[in-house]
Amino acid sequence: MSAACNDYLKVLGLIALAYSWLKVLNISYKELNKNKKFFEDKIATANFFFNRVLPRIDSHYKSATSGSGYIMNFKFN
Low-confidence ranges of the chain (pLDDT < 50): none
Other C-beta atoms closer than 10 Å to the C-beta of 21 total 21
Say what the pLDDT of residue 59 is.
92
Q: Cβ-count burial of 11 within 10 angstroms (0-12 exposed, 13-18 middle, 19+ buried)?
A: buried
Say what the pLDDT of residue 4 is.
66
Domain total of the chain:
1
41 φ, ψ (degrees, to nearest 5)? -65, -40
Domain span at residue 35 reads 2-64
Share of the chain residues as helix, strand and coil, in percent rounded to the nearest 5: 80, 0, 20
Q: Is residue 72 part of a domain?
A: no
Say what the pLDDT of residue 28 is.
97
Q: Is residue 77 part of a domain?
A: no
Q: Is residue 76 part of a domain?
A: no
Amino acid at 28: S
Q: Is residue 71 part of a domain?
A: no
**What is the pTM for the complete model shown?**
0.78
